[in-house]
Amino acid sequence: MQGELSDGTTIAVKQLSSKSCQGNREFVNEIGMISGLNHPNLVKLHGCCVEKDQLLLVYEYMENNSLALALSGKSSRILNWAERQKICVGIDRGLEFLHQGSTIRMVHRDIKTTNVLLDADLNAKISDFELARLHEEEHTHISTKIAGTIGYMAPEYALWGQLTEKADVYSFGVVAMEIVSGKSNTKQKGSADHVSLINWALALQQRGDTMEIVDPVLEGDFSSKEAVRMIKVALVCTNSSPSLRPTMSEAVQMLQGEMEITKVVSDPGLYGHDWSMSKVRDIDT
């Protein structure tokens, strides 16, 4: 909900339930994770409030709501290509900071379009750190209870609970594909004829119909070179093998044409095309 500070600053207030252990854990975790972070592509936490059964987090206000809304067609504006490129690079830079630039490295665990907010200038800001986990240098991966959103979770994490920064890279790849295509990876989830966004895009690319992936609402007004680049980055970031995914710093260089994009090696047999629907159980969302 929207509010205002005594100095006239517009704020966004997020309320969590204090009546459940999960609500309390998420409240403490989010404060601990984000309070010391300062980056233009991370949402800023102004403060918090605990009063009776109220748990409130006070954030900077985002005038353009979420990326999910902007791509849904329900927003008052349509994102042009330059804005989509800017947003995609912004998300990348925010994750790069969490993984490599911050004093305390962390994995977000829930990167998706609803957790990317847009300010008045359409700068992307990563939000919702309640599921984030610290990643200590001496550990190759974090073993943790699976939590996140089906459709955005990396297979090695969803199936075996192995969490590294490469899980965020996978989620970013899905979001990047949603940005370029204007399609949601979560629509019609679980239906008999459902095909994941990534598999749909990969099939089109392999047929030589890459331009059919691009959002038709752009009506051809986009840089084909940048669009192909974003599609390739999305595909390499969602590679089934974590070791073949780039780091976020490499991904931003690829997006901006400063680094060659690794050729995508498709191996659907490794997990199966329907792993996210048939094999994932007891996931906290």
By annotation, the residues acting in catalysis are 110
Q: At what angle do helices 248-255 and 81-96 cross, to 10 degrees?
A: 160
CA 124-125-131 angle, to 5 degrees, is 135
Give the sign of the dihedral formed by CA 120, CA 117, CA 58, CA 3: positive
Concatenated DSSP letters of 174-231: HHHHHHHH---TTTTTT-TT---HHHHHHHHHHTT-GGGGS-GGGTT-S-HHHHHHHH
The dihedrals phi and psi of 272, each to the nearest 5 degrees, come to 90, 145
Question: Using CA atoms, how far apart are residues 180 and 217, in angstroms rounded to an integer?
Answer: 11
Residues in the chain: 285
Q: Which residues 6+ apart lie within 8 Å of 14 measured at CB? A: 56, 57, 59
Question: Using CA atoms, how far apart are residues 27 and 130, in angstroms rounded to an integer?
Answer: 7
Beta bridge partners of 15: 56
Q: Are 81 and 222 in contact (CB under 8 A)?
A: yes
